[in-house]
């Protein structure tokens, strides 16, 4: 049975990715009271890394989590906190077995269940033979045109398996590839005993999950207004208080640093969206009218979210090794950095075999009249890519760069304390596709070995796509204008979904919002981000949070794990956009972005 529904469930986050602050779990279970703590580790980029190490014979689960949880098992047991995590990766059964062994060895009476069914790799061939095309969500091409053999194929599961495991008494639930928000949605559905078609409640819980699954993102981390957030050395982890009707307040542990204000929550709300329809295996979330309001110190309420049935398909993330890569960095000093980069490119690439792809990227621009040597210095990254390790070893990028000291550009050097890398690493490509949920087994394996199948929720056979928001007419200004840095007026947050980057731009200033929505058109975005000028771009407006949202399709190639960009997963696109200069009416230009203030933080 679910827990008492007369109060909200309090769900705390302790990890937003593999490598997040190691002490996060300890902080979350020893801080303010929480009912459940959730740990998210499986970004698409991380899945690619796990696929590579698993192929090399290492465990397919997140060993980092094992190190985190063991010293905290006593507190988890004493406080009666449930733990839900996707640290199971490619082998949740093995991680669950390891935790049971560990609990028995350390004397902790904790029940561990796990979720199976997301691994559909062995089904791909049969489904393909039966007519499934596994069309790429970005390119539309069928899997048969990929030309690579998948080593991993994982379907995104919803939260009902988690809800059942908790209802049957599990203290720890180990998942593989459930959606990030499922960790929270499943926990809330268990607590409040929701029905499988409680669409509005489920949608609100999914949004709560989207907000807290990235940890300190909601408390000031990766926030454009970071200077105004107090104590940013270690911003605390967020908590979602989800009521019986799904209404959510985002907060944090009182003792911890950082802040929860509407702008920090807006930043995470816009992160990694693909539009105002947020598709989840349990529900379709409608964000058209989402609103945020401050309801106390470090307390932000989310309103305006409604839900409808999910689509009949769920996403499948496939990965395949497509080659190898190696990267090294050297430095060029002004003047004439461009000429120096071109000479190094020609020298390193001289006699390059046809199978080697060489990417050379200067990082930054030397200052005019530099006041010290480092203002005159530009890092230059060399990346070599090939289909086989042997090709890269024979090309020997390190040797080629090391031979330039006496025969290349004036002032050539590298960091003597960072020796050249000589070891190629695997390059993993990503193929996102769809699979009917009816073809995916969603199974809870309880601690006693019982296997319980989870039913597919009622689905929308022909779900509506993303709404089309008309492009604004480019404004013309009759009065005085000024040129300002866009970041003076707005905040922004960028994220990634496979080969797509998204960027959301917002201003809470009611005087800036009318200008923002009329001026920031798709054409203007193409001007401001030249890398996107030839891309398919989708634009939406979200008036409730005064935001304009874009999806830049294909900016990241086929995915962060395989493209050659330095910013592989597009995390800095929003900040680059804010650095661009725009022409604005003089009265708008006199305003400043509404910084988070001490009054905002104190409530």
Evaluate if residue 562 carries a pLDDT over 80: no
Cis peptide before 598 (omega within 30 of 0): no
Residue 515 Rama label (left phi>0; alpha psi -120 to 50; beta): alpha
Q: What is the CA radius of gyration of the chain?
A: 25
d(CA 3, CA 443): 22
- Quickly list DSSP for 343-388: HHHHHHHTT--TT-EEEEEEES-PPSS-SSGGGGEEEEEEEEEESS
Q: Which region among 326-330, 496-500, 594-598 has the lowest average model confidence (pLDDT)? A: 594-598
- Computed over every residue of the chain, the mean pLDDT equals 94
Q: For residue 194, how far is the Cα from the chain centroid?
A: 28
Are β-strands 36-39 and 82-85 bridged in parallel, bridged antiparallel, or unpaired?
A: parallel
Q: What is the mean pLDDT of residues 505-509?
A: 94
Tens of pLDDT, residues 514-536: 999 999 999 999 999 999 999 99
Evaluate if residue 474 carries a pLDDT over 90: no
Residue extents of the structural domains in the chain: 9-118+156-310, 481-602
Phi, psi of 450 (to 5 degrees): -65, 140
Q: For residue 207, how far is the Cα from the chain centroid?
A: 14
d(CA 600, CA 603): 5
Phi, psi of 532 (to 5 degrees): -100, 5
d(CA 253, CA 267): 20
Look at residues 271, 202, 232 and name the one whose alpha carbon lies nearest to residue 40.
271
Residue 2 is predicted with a pLDDT of 45
**Can you tell me whether residue 473 is helix, strand or coil?**
coil
Angle subtended at Cα 597 by Cα 591 and Cα 600, rounded to the nearest 5 degrees? 115
Residue 159 is predicted with a pLDDT of 98
Q: What stretches of 228-339 adopt beta strand conformation (E)?
A: 238-242, 248-252, 277-279, 284-286, 291-296, 299-303, 306-308, 313-333
**Can you tell me whether residue 464 is helix, strand or coil?**
coil
Q: What is the mean pLDDT of residues 114-123?
A: 96
Evaluate if residue 467 carries a pLDDT over 70: yes
Residue 1 is predicted with a pLDDT of 39
Residue 465 is predicted with a pLDDT of 85
CA quadruple 57, 61, 62, 66: dihedral positive or negative?
negative
Tokens 């010290």 map to which residue?
A: 372
Residue 443 is predicted with a pLDDT of 98
Tens of pLDDT, residues 337-350: 999 999 999 999 99
* Greater model confidence, 561 or 167: 167
Longest Cα–Cα distance of the chain, Å, equals 76
Evaluate if residue 462 carries a pLDDT over 90: no
- Asked if 3 and 35 count as a contact pair (C-beta separation under 8 A), the reply is yes
Residue 599 is predicted with a pLDDT of 59
* pLDDT band of 43, cuts 50, 70, 90: confident
The H or E element spanning position 504 is: strand 500-506
- Asked if 427 and 560 count as a contact pair (C-beta separation under 8 A), the reply is no
CA dihedral 577, 579, 582, 585 (to 10 degrees): 110
Are β-strands 172-174 and 82-85 bridged in parallel, bridged antiparallel, or unpaired?
A: parallel
Evaluate if residue 473 carries a pLDDT over 90: no
CA dihedral 497, 498, 499, 501 (to 10 degrees): 20
564: its two tokens: 């050659």
Q: Is 299 exposed, middle or buried (0-12, 13-18, 19+ CB in 10 A)?
A: middle
* pLDDT band of 193, cuts 50, 70, 90: very high
d(CA 84, CA 107): 21
Q: Which region among 256-260, 372-376, 569-573 has the lowest average model confidence (pLDDT)? A: 569-573
Q: Which region among 218-227, 381-390, 405-414, 584-593 has the lowest average model confidence (pLDDT)? A: 584-593
Strand partners, 274: none
* pLDDT band of 379, cuts 50, 70, 90: very high
- Asked if 311 and 459 count as a contact pair (C-beta separation under 8 A), the reply is yes
Residue 50 is predicted with a pLDDT of 80
- Asked if 472 and 517 count as a contact pair (C-beta separation under 8 A), the reply is yes
CA quadruple 127, 180, 286, 511: dihedral positive or negative?
negative
d(CA 567, CA 325): 16
Tens of pLDDT, residues 119-166: 999 999 999 999 999 999 988 999 999 999 998 899 999 999 999 999
Q: What is the mean pLDDT of residues 419-443?
A: 94
Q: What is the reported pTM? A: 0.94
């Amino acid at each position: 049975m679910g827990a008492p529904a007369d109060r909200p469930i309090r769900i705390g986050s302790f990890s937003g990715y593999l490598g997040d602050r190691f002490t996060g779990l300890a902080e979350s279970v020893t801080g303010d009271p929480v009912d459940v703590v959730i740990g998210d580790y499986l970004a698409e980029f991380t899945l690619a890394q796990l696929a590579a190490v698993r192929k090399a014979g290492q465990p397919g689960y997140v060993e980092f989590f094992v190190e985190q949880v063991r010293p905290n098992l006593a507190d988890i047991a004493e406080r009666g906190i449930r733990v839900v995590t996707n640290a199971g990766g490619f082998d949740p059964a093995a991680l669950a077995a390891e935790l049971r062994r560990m609990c028995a060895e350390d004397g902790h009476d904790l029940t561990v269940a796990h979720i199976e069914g997301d691994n559909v790799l062995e089904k791909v061939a049969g489904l393909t033979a039966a007519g499934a095309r596994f069309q790429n969500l970005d390119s539309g091409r069928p899997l048969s045109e990929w030309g690579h053999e998948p080593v991993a194929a994982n379907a995104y599961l919803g939260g009902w398996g988690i809800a059942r495991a908790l209802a049957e008494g599990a203290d720890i639930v180990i998942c593989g590839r459930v959606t990030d928000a499922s960790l929270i949605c499943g926990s809330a559905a268990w607590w409040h005993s929701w029905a499988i078609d409680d669409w509005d409640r489920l949608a609100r819980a999914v949004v709560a999950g989207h907000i807290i699954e990235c940890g300190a993102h909601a408390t000031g981390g990766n926030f454009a207004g970071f200077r105004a957030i107090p104590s940013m050395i270690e911003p605390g982890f967020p908590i979602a208080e989800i009521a019986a009707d799904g209404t959510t307040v985002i907060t944090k542990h009182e003792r911890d640093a950082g802040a929860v204000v509407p702008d920090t929550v807006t930043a995470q709300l816009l992160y990694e969206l693909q539009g105002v329809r947020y598709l989840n295996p349990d529900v379709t979330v409608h964000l058209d009218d989402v609103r945020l309001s401050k309801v106390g110190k470090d307390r932000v309420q989310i309103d305006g979210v409604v839900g409808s049935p999910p689509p009949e398909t769920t996403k499948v993330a496939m990965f395949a090794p497509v080659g190898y890569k190696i990267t090294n960095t050297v430095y060029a000093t002004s003047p004439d950095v461009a000429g120096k980069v071109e000479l190094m490119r020609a020298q390193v690439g001289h006699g390059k075999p046809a199978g080697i792809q060489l990417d050379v990227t200067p990082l930054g621009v030397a200052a005019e009249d530099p006041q010290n040597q480092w203002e005159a210095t530009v890092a230059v990254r060399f990346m070599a890519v090939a289909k086989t390790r042997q090709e890269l070893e024979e090309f020997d990028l390190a040797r080629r760069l090391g031979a330039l000291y006496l025969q290349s550009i004036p002032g050539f050097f590298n960091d003597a304390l960072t020796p050249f890398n000589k070891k190629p690493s695997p390059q993993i490509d990503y193929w996102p596709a769809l699979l009917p949920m009816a073809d995916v087994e969603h199974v809870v394996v309880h601690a006693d070995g019982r296997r319980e199948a989870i039913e597919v929720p009622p689905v929308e056979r022909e779900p509506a796509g993303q709404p089309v928001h008309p492009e604004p007419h480019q404004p013309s200004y009759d009065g005085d204008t000024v040129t300002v840095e866009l970041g003076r007026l707005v905040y922004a947050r960028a994220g990634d979904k496979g080969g797509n980057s998204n960027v959301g731009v917002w201003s809470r200033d009611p005087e800036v919002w009318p200008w923002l929505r009329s001026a920031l058109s798709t054409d203007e975005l193409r001007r401001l981000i030249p890398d996107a000028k030839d891309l398919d771009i989708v634009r939406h407006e979200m008036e409730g949070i005064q935001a304009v949202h874009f999806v830049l399709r294909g900016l990241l190639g086929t995915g962060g794990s395989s493209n050659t960009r330095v910013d592989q997963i597009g995390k800095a696109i929003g900040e680059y956009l804010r650095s661009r200069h725009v022409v604005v009416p003089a009265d708008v230009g006199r305003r400043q972005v509404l910084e988070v203030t001490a009054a905002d933080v104190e409530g």
